[in-house]
Amino acid sequence: MNKFKNFAIKLEKILNEEDIKIDEPMKNHTSFKVGGPADILITPKSFQQVIDVINLCKEDSIPFFIMGNGSNLLVRDGGIRGIIIKLIKLNNIEVQGNKITSGSGTSLKKISTEALNNSLTGLEFACGIPGSVGGAVTMNAGAYNGEISNAIESAKIIDDCGEVKILNKEELKLGYRMSSILMYGYTVLEVNFNLKKGEYEKIKNRMDDLNRRRSEKQPLEYASAGSTFKRPVGHFAAKLIEDSGLKGENVGDAQVSQKHSGFIINRGNATARDILNLIGIVQRRVKEKFDVNLYTEVRIIGED
């Protein structure tokens, strides 16, 4: 740990002291509310700070991980060695005509509301997704027949060589829960959306309807990371899990939701190990019964 404390002193030349946290519990930064400590967690306020920190990490061979608001992240109980760069403070929004430019740390709720306020249609599907813009682009987030690939124009990124580039829609290679960001380990700084003019009331009604449907069908009252598994080709994960008799299955306080079998929830005191063990049970049972492999949509990082 001394290595990282010494590195934290170097970070103080780039960041404000309040933006550097040592031995920070990751359960405070993920929607699952589990996870051991990160050696260092930082919250940069500018693109240049992000660039400078990444370059410093590479110079000193310090491992780093980029995160948004942790809504699709499961951190193991042993925590994370190295640096977590949390981009939640990169949350600027600028609207020009039918285009919105947003920092990667902006919440999807905030940007969809901004689109609504400017009578722009194309981001309604994102109003209830509890993620950040950068994470949404990385995973090509989607719901209710909408996804980021339908609304995005380009993204400003840091590539694996530390260079800042603008990637257009084609270069982002957006597929089902996939992108060139994820494939090549890029970091999203800013995103440009190209939307269409619409009618305020129609947009609002659509968002209200989607939020109502989410509330009725999803276990929003519990900590979770949303849909735990990717959709298998030709199947629905939730139906496979339910038809395997796993609704309500639990390991400690980790449980397959009674409300929506596609969600594994933390009923209050689950550990990451509980959640991972339950994920394994679900995967094995579905494979045995239907010969279908379930792959996690949630990203799993850290040490046991």
Would you place residue 160 in the very low, low, confident or very high pLDDT band (cuts 50, 70, 90)? confident
Largest Cα–Cα distance of the chain, in whole Å? 57
Q: Write down the pLDDT at residue 39.
A: 96
**pLDDT (mean) for 252-261:** 98
**pLDDT (mean) for 94-114:** 97
* Each residue's pLDDT tens digit, 178-209: 999 999 999 999 999 999 999 999 999 999 99
- Report helix angle 47-59 to 2-11, nearest 10: 140
Would you place residue 259 in the very low, low, confident or very high pLDDT band (cuts 50, 70, 90)? very high
Residue 142 has pLDDT above 80, yes or no: yes
Cα-based torsion angle of the residue sequence 192, 135, 122, 157 in order, rounded to the nearest 10 degrees: 20
* Cβ atoms within 10 Å, residue 63: 10
* Each residue's pLDDT tens digit, 203-249: 999 999 999 999 999 999 999 999 999 999 999 999 999 999 999 99
Residue 126 has pLDDT above 80, yes or no: yes
Residue 53: CB partners within 8 Å, gap ≥ 6?
11, 14, 15, 42, 44, 64, 83, 85
What DSSP letter does each residue of 271-296 carry, written as one string? -HHHHHHHHHHHHHHHHHHH-----B
- Percent of the chain scored above 70 by pLDDT? 99
Would you place residue 2 in the very low, low, confident or very high pLDDT band (cuts 50, 70, 90)? low
Q: In this structure, are residues 186 and 192 in contact, taking their beta carbons and an 8 Å threshold?
A: no
Residue 6 has pLDDT above 90, yes or no: no
Would you place residue 1 in the very low, low, confident or very high pLDDT band (cuts 50, 70, 90)? low
Predicted TM-score (pTM) of this structure = 0.92
**Which residues are catalytic, by number?**
177, 227, 297
Whole-number average pLDDT of the chain: 96
Would you place residue 145 in the very low, low, confident or very high pLDDT band (cuts 50, 70, 90)? confident
The structural domains of the chain, ordered by start, are: 2-86 (3.30.43.10), 93-202 (3.30.465.10), 219-301 (3.90.78.10)
Q: Write down the pLDDT at residue 5.
A: 77
**pLDDT (mean) for 122-127:** 96
Residue 268 has pLDDT above 60, yes or no: yes
Residue 3 has pLDDT above 90, yes or no: no
- Report helix angle 200-217 to 108-117, nearest 10: 150
